[in-house]
Amino acid sequence: MRGSSALEEALRDAPGARAWVVWEPVLTTDFGPPTASTSSRVTRASQLWDAHRALSDELRKKPWSDPDGEIVWDFVAVFPPGARWGDAPSFHGGPVVRVAEGLRRALQESGRR
């Protein structure tokens, strides 16, 4: 949950940024989408539940993602406006709480382009 709070703080400093949060089952207790109290921590993001971890599977194929394991999670990527799926992000990393400062700077920089 600290990652979602860190994301919300970074978004506060980048008013023009758009965000998508993709929740997926990772822990044995992840039976379904997050509760409203959890998902409400990131108010400016479109949020999706990816029950089959399709995004994780796709991210693992990207040369820039450098996944540590079989599941990409607690991960953030910043793409500039107009980016396409094949483009590399201007910033990426995780866990989100550990890269929060870099995320904030990347979002601000992306907004200046």
CB of 64 closer than 8 Å to CB of 88: yes
| DSSP at 97 | G
86 has a pLDDT exceeding 90: no
Per-residue model confidence as pLDDT tens digits over 36-72: 888 877 888 889 999 999 999 999 888 887 777 788 8
Q: What angle do helix axes 2-12 and 100-111 make, rounded to 10 degrees?
A: 30
Query: Which tokens sit at 40?
Result: 């409400």
**What's residue 108's pLDDT?**
87
**What's residue 113's pLDDT?**
58
Report how far residue 57's alpha carbon sits from residue 44's, in angstroms, rounded to the nearest whole number: 25
Question: Which of the pair, 24 or 80, is modelled with greater confidence?
Answer: 24
Question: Residue ranges per domain, the chain?
Answer: 2-111
Average pLDDT (17-26) is: 90
1 has a pLDDT exceeding 70: no
- HEC assignment per residue over 32-71: CCCCHHHHCCCCCEEEEECCCCHHHHHHHHCCCCCCCCCC
Quote the pTM value: 0.81
**What's residue 101's pLDDT?**
94
